[in-house]
């Protein structure tokens, strides 16, 4: 086995996240490709949460149902995952925690006992971490380094005891591997050590920074809060103005006004919070103010499943806000795309004076994997505002439909922006015969005339073929891995990272396909509808694989679906 | 440079009714601006939607005319991003205390360094006469044919309760007082609330010029504007309603200067460029 | 001429509305069919507003560009309407108000002078009203009756002077008609006197009452406020609980909770206010709470043109609110439909536990015409809630997907409603394997399974033909009149009063058409897209006649468009 | 009928952390309900979203668990439509004073006859530790790594300023006081605000049980709960924070009874049927 799926499951508050973070880091520094993703309940303590870790000697970046190794932190973990545990699953638990321990299914190891021996039951998790590292015979020094970094404020003794716990676990793991004759044959790739380990949230936040973001006003809401917290934690070094807004309405109005006044602003939110922003979105449309919106999806309607994943808000993002205006929607499928598209979002928003969305979801923002180091060049930020002179007209009607955008205080012009219909100076107008139609066209036609050069084609993988497994946003790796496994010479993936508006060549690409099957995490096929409308090729329900349980789509489910439909 | 009140007036015709109290308010504001010699290029006028909210349309300055109820968050952001600007919010009682009530609370908590002039005509003017949060009990409207019965919103008392640093009320007909309070509000560092009684001659037949004259009086010179409990007590006085500055607190830090973004630089954000080196260093930490 | 278009134009505050109301009423009681619609600026005094009155001996219910008679109240009126004034237009003005008076174009009559003679310049408008009545040689007694009703609180003298002013005007009108030899050959239809005169707002509000509406919480916003004000003015007789909400968010949450507690609630709003309601809409979707929403459209984005008309919020109404759930959208085209569909909306909302929209617009709500008296039967309200017993489950999974809805206090059951994903009892759940999918399907499949019997076909007029002029909502009469005038044997109108979801037979109806041309008041063709997606027949831009000036579509524009496209 | 506090408890496991202050609050509330003998069938529990807002999930009664911030408008409507119900709102400080701030103001203006228990743990519990409007200055969170600097929201002072008719603060650890204040709040006719200090053991490491014990004290028996200015003065006292009933005004009409819909009948709306004859008469007036 050169690709192991290991799951840690326990209650909120039992420290699963620390285990996840340390393990992926240690295994990466040991030269293994890694992926981790978590699923958790909407509570702070208790319940059943789990983290899936994939450890491999090649890149693995997708959720699988399969569990090779399970480390349950409590009894409930077993029932929580019962549908995914098979004959093949190796279950390793702290001795005494699981009932049917001793049966051939569950291997009990004395995590806590050993921890207590080392000094305290608080080290139980560290013993468990050590055990996993031992199972993979990975280099333990990165673990020691991490423990040192984490615990040195607490004193040398604590650091040493932690390290000891790690080593004790390590030995147990190694021994188990030998006793059970486990064939975890992972060949480390030294280059992996030089890569970065990063999740979706971090990639979006870093992308924003690379795009010159220096303002965020948002209201906490899972799963979008990570971007707010990340930017806040680097506010000082990068001069980012952070405001935890009183509500989402305030958040978007502040962000819009911030752009007006010269900042580069983002808001980060999720479905319900975004609903509240939609009037502000319309304001942005009317005033031709740039804006970047991170919309991290979760299952709805209403409060729904606050900590789960979904792709239910695509249609909403396309149509939200009353009246008509232009917008652009990115739905990154990979960490690299998340970074790059968010960076770009700022430049496009600025240049075209439109709102640009980053449409992610809980699965995407909470998943980590290793990627080659991100590089940025010195032109990562493209500023599009101008110094104004007297007589400046904010809404000058120009050839290409764009009016140069000024900033109050930069030059002598007065920047006059109005949410009412307005003339070129931004003054309110009721001229229905000329100004109103001209201004409507200016706003709406950005889509047709201007975005042409900006629109991107979907990713086709591995190459153009007869049949397509189509997906968008966070399903990139899930579908890609399924296509890889199926090795069907007629089948390729078509992944959309830019979902609205669609490139005109998509009509041809989809039109020419023999068969298509669309994978989406919603119950109605929102992207399928969009594609049908755009291409004129009606995609019936039988060709839509819709998953709306709140869990991420798995590689296995994609494979089964494709096989059943004869792909 | 010397300024005249006319320097702050746009040439466009005003869409207000003849006799509307907004004219007088606007005149006093222009005079205050001229006396303080605030260059139009350094002045950002912000408003929501309503009759009052049209004022920035007529003011020769930068303008951000936002949505109904949303002037305050916009103004806060503008000042925070571009602190060299003088930021003034003009909007109606419905806009600020009704639709925008939550932002009213939040701005006071932040002590944003902005001026908030609320044109309190105790009615929804633009939408033709529905009750506003400050409408007095008993007033009849099409939505309240048997009379309004909600407790009228008391902006001064709430502002004082929230810890606002400048709380005043004026009646626009008292031109001198109005101008002077506006000047003090603009000069005050922090969130300055000026609730300004104005007539809506078209939609409010109760709170007329005569009514305002009869039902208001000026706070005594001796009123201690630094005593919060005293200020509260005066703020809940009704009929007659005191006018003047009720409460003032100097020296409290304002929002933008407390933001981390200004810890190491006071430059407006648009003048700063991304530090790529630092960003590369940050990215490197993900290894 | 048996169909005259008369326009009164002046500044806000000059009393145009009183003139409009009196004239349509007088002319109706004289047995003439009438129609009136107004356009006005977003201000209370000044500017240029106008009212179009159509007076005819057959039913006329649509806006036309043509002006047969213009009564300008000030100089500006002429320039305001300059593009619609032709050689044929007869302009009658108060002597001395219009510059080029005396030229053959403008006829000056001494309205004000005569008013002053009678007693006061305040009667000027009444003299003008009398003149128009005289022009048509209509019965003046209804005018006298109206003046009496209106002014009797002010004393007998005032009433008498008003009547005298009316008569003086009447004589001037009659004389003018004779002098100019005007051929206003209207044959009065006595039955018209027995009809009712009503506008869109009133029809919606009355429809709501006939549907048992007893709760409205709304925030004022043009052009939707009329419904709130109408219901408020009858709150006492009909026991309607009225709350002018603190904002639109509160409005919809109150209305939803009102249904929960046993009321039948409506909210009335327009684009920006509706944006703020969308999270509440999603709550309604999740909790399966009935709701009726009146969304009166106006041009956006943002504040846009607050007093003008548009059909820009159809896509928004379809997609608003995060997550997925079922909804139904009516867009009445006639006054009768407005009444009947609003009534029905309450019953359907109650039965299927979904939000039902009435999508109108400024043109629709502000237009009056005469229709036969509306009749209601004693079963106009269908209550669908049940008395509950112990063990009651609010979200019981049933055969047909509907769970009987209880009311707190009616029976022994506890009504437990949750915005989180929930089990049958309404208790929060994180069961992703069974409950979540079951509940999603319950909410989403109402559309497919349940609404089938409720969905309605579009109106085809005069009968099924080869080619169709397609429209929806308020464009009914405009397109119908154009079709009538064109008398093309291949051309019919297809009007959708129920725009979402679309009936399945629409696929066939549209598919079989030879040519179609869609008329919409927006810049992107929102309904065209919807129809394309639903039917699979792509409707290109060349077949979309899009009007987005903020003015209503006119009969003439529809005719020209159809002729140009060879219909 | 005699009730026991257990009669108000659902069998489901609670998703709160061990040691969470919400447990104690809930217990006191159940005791208050039992002592007042309120039948679950006459009790509607309303909440927004948050840890506090889960309380209705665990309460054996009718429940409307609304959106974050929106409990108050929902509760107001429920009471207005079905006045026979006892309506209690339980939600967090973020929910009521943050996202829902505008509704907080509006409910006080209306004097809806509902009880509003705010679980004030000075933090956003459910979303893992961001500052809430009541967070104290200086507290560090992931969004405020340099510490919170907004002026903390003072719910009592604002409520008193707005003219609320029942304003109280308790600390849940004072179980007897808490229960008694809840009882008085439920019995009060009008909008009753009970700001209840609770521990969030997981996310708030500053305002702990010890902190609350040390920084609160009970208002003296002699405190005059009918003196508004005095109540205001006591409400702006910080550190230590007084607990108890600050202000109370009896006899002020409540929202639903002032509504036109109740002029001629006191029946809940669901018991009324449309009067078709009247409607036909109304339609006839359009002739
Ligand atoms: C979200 C939203 N709701 C409602 C409106 C309609 N509206 C415009 S102005 C206004 C009230 C204006 O009252 P106020 O703020 O007191 O200003 P005034 O006209 O009295 O000066 C309303 C309700 C709107 N534009 N947007
Ligand atoms: C519109 C919206 N914004 C944000 C959220 C996310 N959210 C859920 S609970 C909560 C804060 C909870 O804090 P509080 O009300 O104080 O309750 P506590 O958990 O502390 O008891 C937030 C921000 C949401 N559910 N809906
Ligand atoms: S309606 Fe009232 S507020 Fe508006 S312009 Fe006229 S007088 Fe002024
Ligand atoms: S996070 Fe805080 S408020 Fe939430 S349950 Fe835990 S202790 Fe209670
Ligand atoms: Mg007002
Ligand atoms: Mg809290």
DSSP string, D45-112: EEE-SSSGGGHHHHBSSEEEE--TT-HHHHHHHHHHH-TTSEEEEEEEHIIIIIITHHHHHHHHHHT-
Query: Is residue C258 within a helix (H) or strand (E), and if so which, with residue range?
Result: helix C248-261
**What pLDDT does residue A183 have?**
85
Q: What percent of chain B has pLDDT over 90?
A: 100
Do C243 and D77 make contact, defined as CB atoms within 8 angstroms? yes
Which CATH code for domain A459-564?
A: 3.40.50.920
Q: What is the pLDDT of residue C184?
A: 87
Indicate whether C452 pLDDT > 60: yes
Instruction: Quote the pLDDT of residue A101.
Output: 55
Q: Which chains touch D (3 or more CB pairs under 8 A)?
A: A, B, C
Q: Where does the pLDDT of residue A169 fall: very low under 50, low under 70, confident under 90, or very high at 90 and above?
A: very high
With a pLDDT cut of 90, the percent of chain C lying above it is: 90
pLDDT above 70: residue C102: no
DSSP state of C122: G
pLDDT band at C100 (very low <50, low <70, confident <90, very high): low
Q: If contacts are CB pairs under 8 Å, which of residues 181-220 in chain A contact chain D?
A: 219-220
Residue A105: predicted pLDDT: 76
Tell me whether residues A305 and C522 touch, CB distance under 8 A: no
C125-141 confidence digits (pLDDT tens): 999 999 999 999 888 88
C33-39 and C3-12: which strand pairing? unpaired
- CB count within 10 Å of CB A155 equals 10
> For A390, which DSSP code?
T
Cα dihedral: B138, B141, B143, B144 (round 10): 20
DSSP string, chain D: ----GGGGB-SSPP-SPTT-HHHHHHHHHHHHHHHHT--GGGEEEEE-SSSGGGHHHHBSSEEEE--TT-HHHHHHHHHHH-TTSEEEEEEEHIIIIIITHHHHHHHHHHT-S-EEEEEE-SSBTTTTSB--TTPPTT---SS-TT---SPPP-HHHHHHHHT-SEEEEEETTSHHHHHHHHHHHHHSSS-EEEEEE---TTT-SSS-HHHHHHHEEEPPTT--TT-HHHHHHHHT--SSEEEEEEEE--SPPPHHHHSGGGSS--S-GGG----HHHHHHHHHTT-
Q: What is the rounded CA–CA span in Å between residue C8 and residue C48?
A: 10
Q: Is B26 exposed, middle or buried (0-12, 13-18, 19+ CB in 10 A)?
A: buried
pLDDT value for C83: 92
- Nearest C-alpha to atom 25 of ligand 1 is from which residue? B68
| pLDDT of B116 above 90 | yes
Ranges of each domain in chain A: 3-189, 197-371, 386-451, 459-564
pLDDT at position C97: 85
Question: What is the pLDDT averaged over residues C328-354?
Answer: 98
Q: Is C449 a residue whose pLDDT tops 80?
A: no
Interface of A with D in 10-39 (CB under 8 A): 13
Q: Give the H/E segment covering residue A411.
A: strand A405-411
Distance from CA of D64 to the nearest CA of A (A): 13
Q: Give the per-residue pLDDT at A96.
A: 85
- Considering only CA atoms, which residue is closest to atom 3 of ligand 2? A273
B74 has a chain C CB within 8 A of its CB: no
For the cut 80, the answer to whether the pLDDT of residue C448 exceeds it is no
User: Which one of A82, A273, A302 makes the best mutation probe of the C interface by having the most chain C beta carbons within 10 Å?
Assistant: A302
Average pLDDT over residues B15-19: 97
**Closest approach of D158 to chain B, Cα-based (Å):** 5
Half-sphere exposure of A125 (CA within 13 A, CB side): 17
Instruction: Determine the pLDDT at residue A420.
Output: 98
The predicted pLDDT at position A100 comes to 66
Is pLDDT above 90 for C106? no
Average pLDDT over every residue of A345-369: 97
Mean pLDDT, chain D, rounded, equals 98
Q: Which two tokens stand for residue A419?
A: 């949410």
Q: How far apart are the C-alpha atoms of A413 and A399, rounded to whole Å?
A: 21
Cis peptide, bond prior to residue B240, ω within 30 of zero = yes
Residue in chain B lying closest to D101 (CA) = B102
* Each residue's pLDDT tens digit, B194-238: 999 999 999 999 999 999 999 999 999 999 999 999 999 999 999
Domain C3-189, what fold? Pyruvate-ferredoxin Oxidoreductase; domain 3 (3.40.920)
pLDDT at res. A217: 98
**pLDDT tens digit string along B166-192?**
999 999 999 999 999 999 999 999 999
Q: Which of B14, B22, B141, B212 to mutate to test the pocket of ligand 3 (most atoms within 8 A of CB)?
A: B22
Mean of all residue pLDDT scores within chain A: 95
Please give the average per-residue pLDDT across A454-477, as a whole number.
97
Task: Give the C window 254-293 contacts with A, CB below 8 Å.
Answer: 270-272, 274-276, 278-279, 281-283, 285-287
What is the distance in angstroms between the Cα of D155 and the nearest Cα belonging to chain C?
A: 19
User: Residue B195: which residues within 8 A CB-CB, separation 6 or more?
Assistant: B118, B120, B155, B156, B168, B169, B170
Cβ <8 Å between B105 and D146: no
In angstroms, the CA C546 to CA C561 distance is 10
Average pLDDT over residues A324-334: 98
Q: D110: which chain B residues are within 8 Å (Cβ-Cβ)?
A: 150-151
Residue A107, beta-bridge partner list: A92
| pLDDT of A104 strictly over 60 | no
* Burial class for B140, CB neighbours closer than 10 Å (0-12, 13-18, 19+): middle
Give the pLDDT confidence score for residue A551 in this predicted structure: 97
Kindly state if the Cβ of B196 falls inside 6 Å of ligand 1. no
Judge whether A3-189 and A459-564 match in fold: no
CB C216 within 8 A of CB B67: no
Burial of C97 (0-12, 13-18, 19+ CB in 10 A): middle
How distant, in Å, are the alpha carbons of A317, A502, A503 from that of A453? Answer: 22, 12, 10
**Between chains, do C244 and B144 touch, taking CB under 8 Å as contact?**
yes
The 10s digit of each residue's pLDDT in A139-150 is 888 899 999 998
Over residues A288-317, mean pLDDT: 98
Residues near ligand 2 (Cβ within 6 A): A 219-221, 248, 272-273, 276, 303; D 49-52, 68, 91-95, 99, 119, 121, 123-127, 132
Q: What is the per-residue pLDDT for B226?
A: 98
pTM: 0.98
Supply the pLDDT for residue A511: 95
> Residue A103 pLDDT more than 80?
no
pLDDT in tens, D136-187: 999 999 999 999 999 999 999 999 999 999 999 999 999 999 999 999 999 9
For chain D, the domains span 5-284
- Topology, domain A197-371: Rossmann fold (3.40.50)
A225-252: per-residue pLDDT in tens? Answer: 999 999 999 999 999 999 999 999 999 9
Looking at CA atoms only, how far is residue D166 from chain C in angstroms? 21
Task: Output the pLDDT for position A194.
Answer: 95
pLDDT band at A1 (very low <50, low <70, confident <90, very high): confident
Q: Is there a contact between A409 and B280 if contact means CB atoms under 8 Å apart?
A: no
Over residues D17-44, the mean pLDDT reads 98
**ipTM of this predicted structure:** 0.98
May I ask the CATH architecture of the domain D5-284? 3-Layer(aba) Sandwich (3.40)
Q: What is the DSSP letter of A32?
A: -
Nearest 5°: CA angle at A167, between A163 and A168? 115
- pLDDT above 60 for C104: no
Do A323 and C312 meet the contact criterion of CB atoms below 8 Å apart?
A: yes
Counting Cα atoms < 13 Å in the Cβ hemisphere of C29 gives 16
Q: How sure is the predictor about B147, in pLDDT bands with cuts at 50, 70 and 90?
A: very high
Residue A404 pLDDT:
98
Give CA–CA dist A480/A470, Å, rounded. 10
């Amino acid at each position: 086995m050169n690709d192991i799926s290991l799951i840690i499951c326990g209650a909120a508050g039992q420290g699963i996240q620390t285990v996840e973070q340390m393990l992926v880091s240690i295994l990466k520094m040991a030269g293994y490709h890694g992926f981790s993703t978590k699923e958790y309940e909407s509570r702070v303590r208790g319940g059943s949460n789990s983290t899936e870790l994939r450890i491999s000697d090649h890149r693995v970046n997708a959720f699988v149902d399969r569990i090779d190794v399970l480390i349950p932190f409590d009894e409930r973990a077993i029932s929580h995952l019962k549908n995914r545990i098979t004959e093949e699953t190796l279950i390793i638990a702290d001795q005494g925690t699981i009932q049917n321990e001793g049966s051939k299914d569950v291997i009990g190891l004395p995590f806590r006992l050993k921890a207590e021996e080392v000094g305290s039951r608080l080290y139980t998790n560290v013993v468990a971490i050590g055990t996993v590292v031992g199972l993979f015979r990975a280099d333990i020094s990165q673990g020691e380094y991490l423990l040192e970094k984490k615990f040195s404020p607490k004193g040398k003794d604590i650091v040493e005891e932690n390290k000891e716990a790690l080593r004790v676990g390590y030995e147990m793991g190694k021994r188990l591997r030998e006793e059970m004759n486990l064939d975890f044959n992972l060949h480390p790739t030294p280059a992996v050590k030089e890569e970065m380990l990063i999740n979706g949230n971090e990639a979006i936040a870093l992308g924003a920074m690379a795009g010159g973001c220096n303002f965020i006003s948002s209201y906490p809401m899972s799963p979008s809060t990570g971007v707010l917290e990340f930017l806040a934690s680097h506010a000082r070094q990068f001069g980012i103005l952070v405001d935890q807004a009183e509500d989402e309405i305030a958040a978007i109005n502040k962000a819009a006004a911030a752009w007006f006044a010269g900042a580069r602003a983002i808001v980060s939110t999720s479905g319900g919070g975004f609903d509240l922003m939609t009037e502000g979105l319309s304001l942005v449309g009317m005033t031709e103010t740039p804006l970047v919106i991170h919309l991290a999806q979760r299952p709805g309607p209403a409060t729904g499943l606050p900590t789960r994943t979904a792709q239910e808000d695509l249609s909403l993002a396309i149509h939200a806000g009353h009246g008509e205006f232009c917008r652009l929607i990115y739905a990154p499928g990979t960490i690299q795309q998340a970074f790059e598209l968010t960076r770009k979002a700022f430049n496009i928003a600025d240049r075209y004076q439109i709102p640009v969305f980053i449409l992610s979801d809980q699965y995407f923002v909470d998943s980590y994997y290793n990627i080659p180091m991100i590089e940025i060049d010195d032109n990562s930020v493209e500023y599009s505002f101008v110094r104004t002179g007297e007589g400046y007209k904010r809404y000058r009607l120009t050839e290409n439909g764009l009016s140069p955008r000024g900033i109050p205080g930069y030059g002598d012009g007065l920047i006059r922006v109005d949410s009412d219909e307005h003339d070129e100076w931004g003054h309110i107008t009721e001229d229905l015969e000329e100004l109103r139609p001209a201004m409507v066209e200016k706003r709406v036609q950005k889509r047709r005339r201007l975005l042409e050069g900006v629109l991107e084609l979907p990713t086709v993988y591995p190459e153009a073929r007869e049949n397509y497994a189509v997906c968008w946003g966070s399903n990139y790796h899930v579908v890609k891995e399924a296509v890889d496994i199926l090795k069907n010479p007629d089948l390729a993936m078509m992944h959309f990272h830019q979902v609205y508006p669609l490139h005109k060549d998509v009509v041809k690409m989809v039109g020419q396909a023999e068969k298509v099957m669309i994978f989406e995490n919603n119950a109605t096929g929102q992207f399928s509808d969009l594609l049908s409308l755009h291409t004129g090729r009606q995609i019936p329900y039988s060709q839509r694989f819709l998953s709306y349980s709140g869990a991420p789509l798995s590689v296995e489910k994609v494979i089964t679906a494709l096989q059943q439909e004869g792909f | 440079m010397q300024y005249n009140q006319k320097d702050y007036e746009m040439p466009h015709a005003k869409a207000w009714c003849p006799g509307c109290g907004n004219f007088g308010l606007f005149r006093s504001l222009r005079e205050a601006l001229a006396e303080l010699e605030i260059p139009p290029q350094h002045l950002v006028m912000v408003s929501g939607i309503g009759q009052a909210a049209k004022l920035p349309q007529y003011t020769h300055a930068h303008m951000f005319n936002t949505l109904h109820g949303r002037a305050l968050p916009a103004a806060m952001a503008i000042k925070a991003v571009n602190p060299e600007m003088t930021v003034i919010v003009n909007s109606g009682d419905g806009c600020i205390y009704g639709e925008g009530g939550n932002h009213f609370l939040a701005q006071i908590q932040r002590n944003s360094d902005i001026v908030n002039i609320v044109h309190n005509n105790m009615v929804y003017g633009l939408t033709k006469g529905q009750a506003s949060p400050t409408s007095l009990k008993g007033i009849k409207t099409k939505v309240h044919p048997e009379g309004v019965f909600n407790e009228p919103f008391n902006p001064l008392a709430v502002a004082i309760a929230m810890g606002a640093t400048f709380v005043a009320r004026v009646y626009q007909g008292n031109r001198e007082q109005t101008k002077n309070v506006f000047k003090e509000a603009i000069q005050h560092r922090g969130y300055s609330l000026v609730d300004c009684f104005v007539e809506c001659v078209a939609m409010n037949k109760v709170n007329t010029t005569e009514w305002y004259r009869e039902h208001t009086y000026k706070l005594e010179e001796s009123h201690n504007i630094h005593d919060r409990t005293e200020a509260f007590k005066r703020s809940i006085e009704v009929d007659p309603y005191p006018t003047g500055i009720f409460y003032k607190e100097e020296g409290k830090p304002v929002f933008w200067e407390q933001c981390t973004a200004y810890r190491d630089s006071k430059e407006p954000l648009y003048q700063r460029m991304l530090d790529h080196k630092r960003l590369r260093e940050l990215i490197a930490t993900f290894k």
